[in-house]
Amino acid sequence: MGARQGKNRASHRPERAPEALDADAISHRRAECMREIERLRAVLGPTPFVDKAHRLLLPRYWAAASWKGRADILKTVEWLIALSVGVGL
């Protein structure tokens, strides 16, 4: 049982620039997402993806998260919104 040979998988990953955690930009994106969720609810009615996106932006989760966590929440919310628009749900 010899040692593993070859390169570490992580060495194949491209270097990523760290995301700037601008509190104003994150807060602005949250407000935009809330407006988009309200618009989608008016057009599509209640849907699982839009409802989940809305729940993630509630103060219960939002206030407890760090700014990095909030940026991650926004990525998820934006993905859920795009998914609901794409499939009409």
pLDDT (0 to 100) of residue 37: 95
pLDDT (0 to 100) of residue 85: 84
How confident is residue 5, by pLDDT bands cut at 50, 70 and 90?
low
pLDDT (0 to 100) of residue 14: 42
Establish how many alpha carbons lie within 13 A of residue 80's alpha carbon, considering only the half-sphere containing its beta carbon: 22
pLDDT (average), residues 81-87: 86
pLDDT tens digits along 24-80: 999 999 999 999 999 999 998 889 999 999 999 999 989 999 999 999 999 999 999
pLDDT (0 to 100) of residue 17: 42
How confident is residue 15, by pLDDT bands cut at 50, 70 and 90?
very low
